[in-house]
Structure 1
Amino acid sequence: MAQDATKKSGKRSQAVSAKKQAILSAALNTFSQYGIHGTRLEQVAELAGVSKTNLLYYYPSKEALYVAVMRQILAIWLAPLKAFREDLAPLVAIREYIRLKLEVSRDYPQASRLFCLEMLQGAPLLMNELTGDLKALVEAKSAIIAAWVNAGKLAPVDPHHLIFMIWATTQHYADFATQVEAVTGATLQDEAFFQRTVDNVQQMIIEGIRVR
């Protein structure tokens, strides 16, 4: 009996998790197209295949749903920076970070565009996360870069501006994907174009920070 109850509880937990993820995926799709003000919860519920009442059970307001989506995006967006490793050679670590950031732009373009939209609006619903976890992580990784600079392993650059440059360059391919495709006729989904993008972005940034 206990085993049956445990199995049923596990199945319910999986079902709830799947339903919440379906809602978050539908919300990302809708918010990235229409923004928070142009999105209706009815749209999200229909796309997720749930009732509006069911959606509101898990996320009690549109703002709560939006913040949940943004927190999920932030986790995806920060994963490459969290993986930034002090034990690697500096140029190897930065090359890898650039590649991982471009993979995020390739694999999660909607998330990147919605994050960009939130920043352009002044991040009214995400400021606590930006000044908390994001700031702490950036400071920790900036300290690693600063130590490399002080040890003469990198050219003298400001760690914050290096990170900002990598963000701006790599996210361009998601946030302005339409423009990139119009000019080049390709997107990051094209493996050859993706690899050329990685190679070129790595080369331009690495050559700027290499010790002369």
Structure 2
Amino acid sequence: MTETARISRIPKARRQQIRQANETAILQAAEKVFAEAGYGGATMQLIADMAGLPKANLHYYFPTKEALYRRVVQNIFEIWLRAADSFDQAPGPVEGIGAYIDAKMEISRRHPDGSKVWASEVMHGAPVIQDYLETTLRDWTEGRTAHIRRWIDEGRMAPVDPQHLLYMLWATTQHYADFGHQIETLNGGRPLSDRDWQKAKDTVKAIILRGIGATGSDT
């Protein structure tokens, strides 16, 4: 019996639960395999083994490796986009950029493999997700630079180049994911504790916000 036929005989509510659980397992496994092996080195069999599912199940949900890869990239990108909500709701750079740093650092903590997948893809010239860079990322960047320019015009921060500020924010916060092994080694071979992560976030915020002369909404 094929996977499609087997699932069709299960009650709808239960089918939805199974589908969600399988997709979650597949995406978590794919994120790890793509991070470790890269797109070229990853195989659907490796991902199926990591997910603990038959390879046929994998193809039922994602017919090709590229479709699965794009879904992994889309997931991490959507998480990054949600982290930028702080820009849209904040009255000033202390609140907006500060909250953005907090959110991006938490993403590096909670989704290190996703960050590595994105970094590897871009370093190889974005052969699969170039359309994301030319559309969604470009639109997102233009929206955030507009907020930064407004804060500059209002005198809430120094007149820095908005795009280069964003590049610095990305590089600094994503360093904690992409170079996590190096950080762990320098931390005595131990992962950062909750206290370590809070100290890291506070330090990054202090350096960047002071460096751009940021002031809060009540200043």
Is the pair's TM-score, using the shorter chain for normalization, greater than 0.5?
Answer: yes
1:166 equivalent among 165, 169, 172: 169
- Count of aligned residue pairs for this structure pair: 206
Separation in 2 of the partners of 1:21 and 1:191? Answer: 26
> Which amino acid is 1:46 matched to?
D
How far 1:49 moved relative to its partner?
A: 2.2
What does residue 4 of structure 1 align with? none
1:155 to 2:158 alignment: yes
What does residue 4 of structure 2 align with? none
3-state secondary structure, aligned to 1:85: helix
> Which amino acid is 2:169 matched to?
I
What does residue 128 of structure 2 align with? 125
Point out where structure 2 has 5 or more consecutive residues left out of the alignment.
Answer: 1-9
TM-score after normalising by structure 1: 0.90
Using the TM superposition, name which of 195-204 and 43-52 deviates more. 43-52
What does residue 41 of structure 1 align with? 44
Separation in 1 of the partners of 2:21 and 2:161? Answer: 43
Aligned ranges 1:31-110 → 2 under 5 Å: 31-110=34-113
What does residue 184 of structure 2 align with? 181
- Contact 2:86-2:96 at 8 Å conserved across structures: no
What does residue 206 of structure 1 align with? 209
Separation in 2 of the partners of 1:137 and 1:79? Answer: 11
The percent of aligned pairs where both chains have the same amino acid is: 38
3-state secondary structure, aligned to 1:210: coil
Point out where structure 1 has 5 or more consecutive residues left out of the alignment.
Answer: 1-6
Greater relative contact order structure (CA < 8 Å, 6+ sep): 2
Separation in 1 of the partners of 2:190 and 2:94? Answer: 26
Aligned residues: CA RMSD: 1.9
Taking structure 1 as reference, are residues 147 and 187 closer, same or farther at Cα in structure 2, changes over 3 Å only? farther
How far 1:129 moved relative to its partner?
A: 1.2
Deviations 1:125-155 (A, max 9, x none): 1111121112111111110110110121111
Separation in 2 of the partners of 1:179 and 1:146? Answer: 35
Which ranges of 4 or more aligned residues in structure 1 deviate by more than 3 Å? 186-189
